[in-house]
Amino acid sequence: MISRELSHHSRKVLRRNNRRTAAPILPFFLLFIILSLIFYGIAQLPLPEGSPSSRSQSSLTDTNLLKAASQPSVPSASPVASQISQSSQAAQPKSLSAGEDVPWNLVLVNPWNPVPEDLSVTLTHLKNNQAVDERCYPDLQKMMDGCRAAGLSPRICSSYRTMEKQQRLYQNQIQAMLNSGLSQKQAEAEAGKAVAVPGTSEHQLGLAVDIVDEQNQTLDESQEETAVQQWLMAHCWEYGFILRYPTEKSHITGIMYEPWHYRYVGREAAAEIYEKDVCLEEYLGKAG
Ligand SMILES: [Zn+2]
């Protein structure tokens, strides 16, 4: 009995002491919790556009691009590059206006549909003077990485072109045709099949790339046989790209077979175009 009483008494004393020490600490503890919550809330707020952190993110993207283009044999850089470019892409506003309700990735440019007049492209620059619309860059990077991971050596030899550049290429092509003995009219017609008439080239959208195999950088039908093209033709759709000018569709596209020219249309459209074995004109219901 005595011992039980004693222990009961000592518990009471202990409880009282606890209450005495707990009382002044409680407000400080609550204040600490509130301050922590406020601080956490501020830390979670999105960064304003152009803040130092978001700027450094896009410059990292450029660095990775440069790395990707200049060191084609380093696939190890790819996971980081993909992650960074994805987050920077999400922060970027849309920059291409087609003038109608066509999504930027499905704008049709061919001999009968010139590049929209109000076109403006925000470019991501690659090494070797190449550049693409920043919105197709992440998937392009992944496709190049995928191709390299398969042990191959793809090389982007042409990408975004200004009107001036397209004009220069077209004139050069006409000259080559004239040199081969064609009349001016014939030369222009033939040149237009190989190099799009200025103002009607997909390259002016920044969504087209010419990719060759480093083992064979000649732009002719021999590209088709290279390991790089075999891989790209089988896998480009997984990354949102299509082989834009297939051999059996020249009468619809107006452009000769080009087993090196890939156009970005987004993953959904690319998968459907690949599966149905159609060209972009057919997919958009604008064939002939
Ligand atoms: Zn091309």
Q: Are 8 and 69 found together in one domain?
A: no
Distance 261 CA to ligand 1 centre (A): 4
What is the CATH classification number for the domain harbouring 224?
A: 3.30.1380.10
In single-letter form, the type of residue at position 87 comes to S
Which tens digits make up the pLDDT trace of 93-124?
333 344 457 899 999 999 999 999 988 899 99
Percent of the chain with pLDDT over 90: 61
Q: What are phi and psi of 268, to 5 degrees?
A: -65, -50
Distance 157 CA to ligand 1 centre (A): 9
Residue 96 lies in a domain: yes
Distance 285 CA to ligand 1 centre (A): 22
Distance 136 CA to ligand 1 centre (A): 15
Mean pLDDT of 7-30: 46
Which residues are registered as beta bridge partners of 213?
Answer: 154, 216
pLDDT at residue 126 above 90?
A: yes
Q: Report the number of distinct structural domains present in the chain.
A: 2
Across 12-26, 157-171, 236-250, least confident range: 12-26
Q: What are phi and psi of 99, to 5 degrees?
A: 90, -15
pLDDT at residue 22 above 60?
A: no
d(CA 45, CA 48): 9
C-alpha dist (Å) from residue 82 to 129, 137, 261: 21, 9, 23
Domain span at 244: 52-161+201-283
* β strands within the chain, DSSP E: 123-125, 131-133, 154-158, 208-213, 241-243, 261-264
Q: Are 155 and 229 found together in one domain?
A: yes
Let me know if 49 is a catalytic residue: no
Q: Are 64 and 2 found together in one domain?
A: no
Which residues are registered as beta bridge partners of 113?
Answer: 110
11 — pLDDT class (breaks 50, 70, 90): very low
d(CA 252, CA 269): 18
- Position 252 scores a pLDDT of 96
DSSP conformation class of 110 = B
C-alpha dist (Å) from residue 196 to 11, 107, 115, 184, 271: 93, 16, 11, 17, 26
Question: Which one of the listed residues 134, 190, 202, 258 is annotated catalytic?
Answer: 258
Residue 173 lies in a domain: no
Count of CB atoms situated within 10 Å of the CB of 160: 22
Q: Are 232 and 256 found together in one domain?
A: yes
Count of CB atoms situated within 10 Å of the CB of 97: 13
Q: Are 5 and 96 found together in one domain?
A: no
